[in-house]
Structure 1
Amino acid sequence: MIKEQQLVKALDNSEGIIVITDSEGHILFVNKTFEKIYGYTRDEVTGKRPSILKSGFHSKAFYQDLWATISSGKSWNGDLINRSRSGELIVEKASISPIFSDDEDKITGYVAVKHNISEKKRLKEQLEAKEQLFEKLFENSPVGIFVMEALESENEIYDFQIKRANLRSSVIFNRISFIDCNLSFILGNINIRRILQQHKTIQQGELVFEWNSVLKDKIIEFKLFSLGTSQYCLLASDISSQLEMERKLKKSEAHLRELNETKDKIFSIIAHDLRSPFQAIIGFATLLNDGMGNSSIEELKDMSAQITDVSEKTYKLLDDLLTWSKSQLGQLSPVLVSLNLYELVEKVMGQMSMLANKKKIELVNGINKDIALTLDKDMLEFVIRNLVHNGIKFTNIGGEVKCYSSIEDDNVFIHVKDTGIGIQQAKQKGIFSLSGNLSTNGTSEEAGTGLGLMLSREMVELNEGQISLESNPGEGSCFTLSFKRH
């Protein structure tokens, strides 16, 4: 027979919590595991009821059911939440059984064998919380997520079968369900086998492949990850808006850079190109004033002509600057009227005839007399005048500047062609902006600022047209305006 002392020692060495009570529920024995977990000594709890451990978590009905079960001679199994001496909650997996007398006709006490599962329960709750959080993140992710299983043939992956897909995936691909659908069906012409052949050795969590694909009207960024064994995860992001935003940002940056360069150029024009002519006018006027009595009629005429020439160029520059300032303030808006193109070009050539005659350049109006356009008359006149002026400026003595038209479908093309010195390819790219327009002197050393071409481009675009250039050094230049016929 096992002696009582040996039994107590065995019970004390048990990892489980053991509590023995009499038939009325008074504690007769607790083991050392009880003392360690609850903080009470054996002497402190002997004679007391287990109710000293109540946490307040269980209802009165819970305990009534427990006592009803064990007092009827049955065992009770379940979880108990008690409170230790320090106030810590102890979660136990408990089994409470009755102790019968030798003849088994009477209950003489009860024995409870319990295991502290507080840590296990805490870890389980943490795991459940993490799983719930993961589920929320999975379903509410702004990125499409597919959990897939590899499909293999002869130890080679040829496709993936989708096992899970989140809500965002449905939005991106406009599809309600993906379950058991093959990835190749979703991706279309993407060669999955070729992608994976580039990654023979794949570690868990490793980014296998990353690529962009155009699906319908969306640009989708894909990232394929290995989850270990035959499990894979595919992330799909609709980056259409992001790319469009980046494009707009780059365009905005380029526009700001151009505005800054334009501003610097304007200040340079004001500081130099506008100042110098006034100095010349003042100089000639002083000579006229000082030498009025000593100068011949021819000398006076020459000085007067030079004052007129400088004044006209300065007036044009001022006019261009004022027009540019209006464009920067958004005050340039087209006033559409019906106009005869031939008559407008004829008027411009009349204005330019004196300048052309100085260099013996022939101005030719080859515009179809029947072409009518609905455009802003002043803007179109400004543009053609600038183009003809440039043609005269960069054409040698005895050359030709010609305006002519052509029609293709609903488009009218206005060509301003000269037989001048042409423009080098390197200078053509930025010729319609101040930042890239490095103005050069004309064939008779006529000065320029580059404002005219920049303003011409703006005015053409305000009238929903386009301006282009074809030129080769030594072969002349041809500027072409295109407008829709209304």
Structure 2
Amino acid sequence: MKLDINLKEESKIRMLEDEILELKQRLELAQAGSVKLSHSSDYKSFSELFGVVDSDFNLLSVNNESNHFIGKPQNKLKVQKCYSAFRDLNQPCDGCTISTDNTNKLVWYFLQPQLSNKNRPCNRSIITPANLIEPFELTLKETDLFYEQLFESTGDALLIIDCKGRILKFTKKLCEMLSYSEEEFSKLTIFDIDDPTNSLSFDERACQIKRDKGAIFETDLISKSGKLIPVESSSSPIRYHSKTVFFVTFRNIEERLNAQKELLESEIRFRTLVENANDLVMRFDREHRHVFVNSASQQVLGIPPQNFIGKTHQEMGFPDDLCLLWEEEMDKVFESGITDVIDFSIQAKGRDIDFEWQLIPEFDTEDEIPYLLAVARDVSKRTMSEKALEEALKTKDKFFSIIAHDLRNPFGSLRTLSEYLQNSEDLTKEEIQEFAEIIHASACQGYDLLENLLEWSRSQRGSIKWQPQEFDLVELIDSNIKLIQANIHKKQIHLNFQAETSQYVFADKYMIDTVIRNLLANAVKFTYMNGNIDVFLIEKEKHYCVSIKDDGKGISKNNQKKLFHLDNQYSSLGTAMETGTGLGLILCKEFIDINNGEIWVESEGGKGSCFSFTVPKK
């Protein structure tokens, strides 16, 4: 009976133990469920959530409360097996709930409060697959990981500081920018890396950030070596652990500032070049209004550059025909996008100015042409040179024609007479004398022509240098009269020149001598037999006037206009059929001009001519 009682008691004890074990297991499940519930409903209970492991028990992340439960810093926990980090074991914990069949490799682990014999919580970990965690819990932790990765992967360097300037969190990019290691940087404050000399102080910035809910500054960061790195800093206030801190981004703007500096220097060089250019530089919009004009407008047109801005040429009062031409040409370049060059003339500052106008299209990023650049260059001198060259070429052609024609006559005579003399054996003495006189006249004619040609060509090449000196003009005239005495005697011409005293002038003696010789020779050539030549020397205030007057053939008014110009060269036969080219008078005009004098003619057909020129006094 007693045995039965003992058996019954043992059976009851076993039943009670089984019930207690069952109740204990239910309590654990209930407590685990309560933890999940609390995670879903109360954010503070996340302090019990340690972090994330993968299906191979590798510890991926831990929360900030880990050292409170484990007694190990976070950096010692990462890159370990969870059972090694939390339990100092070499293999997974008994009864670990990680499922190797779970396709999701991420799992959550919790610190599970559990009763012990001494009625106190023990540090037992319960690891639960991620697919069994409430969706809300999973989303929160994935968001944490996302922002952690975002914080490190952003292109800018990031920093979180408190109101005292202490560094709470930073990215590796900021360490790399300033050449610090992460350990070195973690010991710094904002005052160690920020140079406030070029911007506001820390307190002033903090006030502005709080007031405006954010601010952007440009400042310099101090690297480990002491080098200043220019950055653009964007700061915003955020809540962190119930406190206001500052989230700061730093963007290195060194390249941008260098580019801006180079652009500014380039702009300064361009503006200096444009403003000091002799060419007129203008910029037009599509309405033909001036948007830029350089300072050359004052020098070239006599109009200040600011008077052009915002106005069209028509509003500036330029001639209508020119305004129409300019606008038509600008519209063509606006439409075609091809640079064009046009020529035009305009009267400005009392003279006609020839311009070469170059229109250059300015393209924007959309390949549109909002503006035209116009460069107007004064080409008046070039135009004059081109005209002079054109005239010179015409003159050269005519000159060679004249020389060839006038040389043909004397050399033709010489050739004919020499052949006749060579082939004739029965010439009388009188015939020989006649032929000799013709040959001599032809030779003299050719010689005079070649002498004038030589003198003229030397003057054209600049071989004859102006060498002014003081000399007696009376003596020079007398010497030239003696040279032509034979021709005067031959035509029985009466030449009158009376000068009682010497008259001194200041000029090139060689050139004036050539002028007097040519004018006297022409007077003899165009004076009839037994005619008269008078030479006058008249004193004026600043010069002497020499006049050589004959009573010979004279020159019509129409032919007088052709004298002294090679392109309108004029010559006629003398009274004894003497020939000439008119080159002598052209040479006289050039020599008188060089000596700052004037030369002119007064004549009438059949009544003789009077050639006069002036020579400066000493």
Query: Same fold judged by TM-score > 0.5?
Result: yes
Query: Per-residue displacement from partner, 1:178-209 (whole Å, max 9, x unpaired)?
Result: xxxxxxxxx8xx999xxx9xxxxx99364553
Higher relative contact order (CA 8 A, sep 6+): 1
Q: CA deviation at 1:423?
A: 4.1
Q: Which residue of 2 aligns with 1:440?
A: 572
CA deviation after TM superposition for structure 1 residue 92, in Å: 6.3
Structure 1 residues 213-251: Cα deviation after superposition (integer angstroms, max 9, x where no partner): 59xxxx9x9xxxxxxxxxxxxxxx9x9xx87x844x556
Aligned twin of 2:476: 344
Distance 1:252 1:67 in 2: 73
**Cross-structure match for 1:13:** none
Q: Distance in 2 between matches of 1:255 and 1:430?
A: 18
Aligned to 2:454: 322
Gap runs ≥5 in structure 2: 1-39, 42-62, 66-73, 75-140, 157-167, 194-201, 219-230, 279-292, 319-346, 356-374
1:121-166 CA-partner distances (Å, limit 9, x unpaired) = 999998897677556655662169xxxxxxxxxxxxxxxxxxxx99
Does residue 306 in structure 1 map to residue 438 in structure 2?
yes
Query: Among 45, 51, 54, which residue is 2:171 paired with?
Result: 51
Candidates 579, 584, 599, aligned match of 1:452: 584
Aligned twin of 1:142: 276
Name the residue aligned to 2:600. Answer: 469
Q: What RMSD over aligned residues (CA atoms) do the two structures have, in Å?
A: 5.8
The answer to whether the Cα contact below 8 Å between 2:468 and 2:507 also exists between their aligned partners in 1 is yes
Identity %: 24
Match of 2:523 among 368, 388, 391: 391
Task: Tell me if structure 2 keeps the 8 A contact 1:353–1:363.
Answer: no
Shift in Å at residue 430 of structure 1?
Answer: 6.1
Secondary structure of 1:434's aligned partner: coil
CA distance in 1, matches of 2:272, 2:470: 60
- TM-score (normalizing by structure 1): 0.56
The amino acid of 1:471's aligned partner reads E
Contact 1:403–1:415, Cα closer than 8 Å, also in 2: yes
Paired amino acid for 1:449: T
Q: Name which of structure 1's ranges 362-371 and 274-283 shifts more when overlaid on structure 2.
A: 362-371
Of the three residues 406, 411, 418, the one matched with 1:285 is 418
Alignment of 1:209-220 (within 5 A): 209=316, 212-213=348-349
What pairs up with 1:7-18 in 2 under 5 angstroms? none
Is the counterpart of residue 99 in structure 1 residue 247 in structure 2? no
Structure 2 distance, partners of 1:66, 1:135, is 37
Cα separation, partners in 2 of 1:206 and 1:327, compared to 1, 3 Å: closer
**Equivalent pair of 1:421/1:476 in contact (CA under 8 Å):** yes
Amino acid at match of 2:234: K
SS at match of 1:93: strand
Residue 409 (structure 2) aligned to one of 264, 272, 276: 276
Distance 1:124 1:300, change over 3 A: closer
Superposed CA deviations along residues 330-357 of structure 1, whole A, max 9, x for unmatched, are 4434676765433433343343344445
Residue number among 190, 198, 213 corresponding to 1:65 in the alignment: 190
SS of residue matched to 1:466: coil
Question: Aligned pair in 2 of structure 1 residues 351, 131: CA closer, same or farther (>3 Å)?
Answer: closer
Indicate the structure (1 or 2) with the bigger Cα radius of gyration.
Answer: 2
Q: Provide the secondary structure at the position in 1 that maps to 2:549.
A: strand
TM-score normalised to the size of structure 2? 0.46
2:523 aligned with 1:382: no
Point out the more displaced range, 320-329 or 59-68.
Answer: 59-68
- Aligned-partner residue type, residue 470 of structure 1: V
**Alignment partner of 1:28 is 2:148:** no
SS of the aligned residue for 1:469 comes to strand
- Partners of 2:592 and 2:599 within 8 A in 1: no
Q: Secondary structure, in 3 states, of the residue corresponding to 1:482?
A: strand
1:343-378 CA-to-partner distances (Å, cap 9, x unmatched) read: 433343343344445656443224454323455555
The Cα of 1:23 is off from its aligned counterpart by 7.8
2:456, 2:587 within 8 Å by CA — same for their partners in 1? yes
2:92 equivalent in structure 1: none
Assess, with a 3 A threshold, how the Cα gap between structure 1 residues 91 and 38 changes in structure 2: closer, same or farther.
farther
In structure 2, the CA distance between the partners of 1:337 and 1:130, relative to structure 1 (3 Å rule), is: closer
Q: Summarize the Cα distance change of 1:433–1:56 in structure 2 as closer, same or farther, 3 Å threshold.
A: farther
The equivalent of 1:372 in structure 2 is 504
CA apart distance, 1:306: 1.6
Q: How does 1:123-134 map to 2 (within 5 A)?
A: 134=267
Larger strand fraction of residues = 1
Point out where structure 1 has 5 or more consecutive residues left out of the alignment: 6-21, 41-47, 82-89, 102-106, 145-164, 173-186, 197-201, 222-236
> 1:469 deviation in Å?
0.9
Change (3 A) 1:465 1:51: closer
How far is 1:465 from its partner? 4.2
Give 1:455's aligned amino acid. Answer: L
Contact 1:400 1:419 in 2 (8 A): yes
State the Cα distance separating 1:386 from its structure 2 match: 0.8
3-state SS, counterpart of residue 449 of structure 1: coil
